[in-house]
Amino acid sequence: MLAVIEQLKCEQKYAAAHGYLCALHSFQDFAGGREVPLPMNEVFRPERLKAYEEWLMQKKARPLKPNSVTCYMSSLRAVYNRWMPAGTPGHDAKMFADVHTRVVSQTKRALRGWQMEKVLAGGRTGNPIAKPADRLHITGQAALDYFRLMFLCRGMPFIDLAHLRKRDLQGRYLVYLRHKTRCPMRVELCPEALRLLRKYGKENPDSPYLLPILDADTSGGWGLYKDYQDALRLFNRDLARAMEFLLPGVRVSSYTARHTWATLAYHMGLPLGVISQSLGHASIRVTETYLKPFENERLDKANKQLIATVKKGKWKKFANNNIL
Phi, psi of 121 (to 5 degrees): -90, -10
- Asked if residues 286 and 177 have their Cβ atoms less than 8 Å apart, the reply is no
Phi, psi of 25 (to 5 degrees): -65, -40
What single DSSP character describes residue 165?
B
pLDDT for 73-113, tens place per residue?
A: 999 999 999 999 999 999 999 999 999 888 765 656 789 99
Task: Write the single-letter amino acid at 260.
Answer: T
Average pLDDT of the residues in 255-263: 91
Of the pLDDT bands very low, low, confident and very high (cuts 50, 70, 90), residue 308 is confident
How far apart CA 229 and CA 237 sit, in angstroms, is: 12
Of the pLDDT bands very low, low, confident and very high (cuts 50, 70, 90), residue 213 is very high
pLDDT of residue 176: 95
pLDDT of residue 105: 58
Residues above pLDDT 90, as percent of the chain: 56
Decide the pairing of beta strands 169-170 and 173-177: antiparallel
What's the N-to-C CA distance of the chain in angstroms? 63
pLDDT of residue 59: 83
pLDDT at 5 over 90: yes
pLDDT at 284 over 90: no
> For residues 47 and 128, which has the higher predicted lDDT (pLDDT)?
47
How far apart CA 190 and CA 195 sit, in angstroms, is: 9
Q: In what order do the strands lie in the sheet with 173-177?
A: 169-170, 173-177, 184-188
pLDDT of residue 170: 95
Alpha-carbon Rg for the chain, nearest whole angstrom, is 24
What secondary structure does DSSP assign to 240-293, as a single string?
HHHHHHHSTT----TTHHHHHHHHHHHHTT--HHHHHHHHT-SSHHHHHHHHTH
Average pLDDT of the residues in 195-210: 90
What secondary structure does DSSP assign to 60-100, as a single string?
SS-PPPHHHHHHHHHHHHHHHHHHS-TTSTT--TTTTTTS-
- Asked if residues 154 and 261 have their Cβ atoms less than 8 Å apart, the reply is yes
pLDDT at 299 over 90: no
**Coil vs helix vs strand at 218:** coil
Of the pLDDT bands very low, low, confident and very high (cuts 50, 70, 90), residue 133 is very low
Its pTM stands at 0.77
pLDDT for 20-67, tens place per residue?
A: 999 999 999 999 998 888 899 899 999 999 999 999 999 877 888 888
Average pLDDT of the residues in 260-285: 88
What single DSSP character describes residue 178?
-
- Asked if residues 235 and 256 have their Cβ atoms less than 8 Å apart, the reply is no
pLDDT of residue 298: 75
**Coil vs helix vs strand at 185:** strand
- Crossing angle between the packed helical segments 46-57 and 14-31, to the nearest 10 degrees: 90
How far apart CA 177 and CA 41 sit, in angstroms, is: 43
- Crossing angle between the packed helical segments 140-152 and 256-267, to the nearest 10 degrees: 30
Closest CA to 191 of 114, 120, 128, 280: 120
pLDDT at 263 over 50: yes
What secondary structure does DSSP assign to 15-47, as a single string?
HHHHHHHHHHHHHHHHHT-TTS---HHHHS-HH
pLDDT for 141-158, tens place per residue?
A: 999 999 999 999 999 999
Classify each residue of 188-216 as buried b or exposed e, where b means 16 or more C-beta atoms within 10 Å of its C-beta. ebeeebbebbeebbeebeebebbbbbbbe
> For residues 127 and 172, which has the higher predicted lDDT (pLDDT)?
172
pLDDT of residue 132: 36
Of the pLDDT bands very low, low, confident and very high (cuts 50, 70, 90), residue 125 is very low
pLDDT of residue 138: 67
Contacts within 8 Å (CB) and 24+ apart, 51-55: 52/27, 52/99, 53/99, 53/100, 55/30
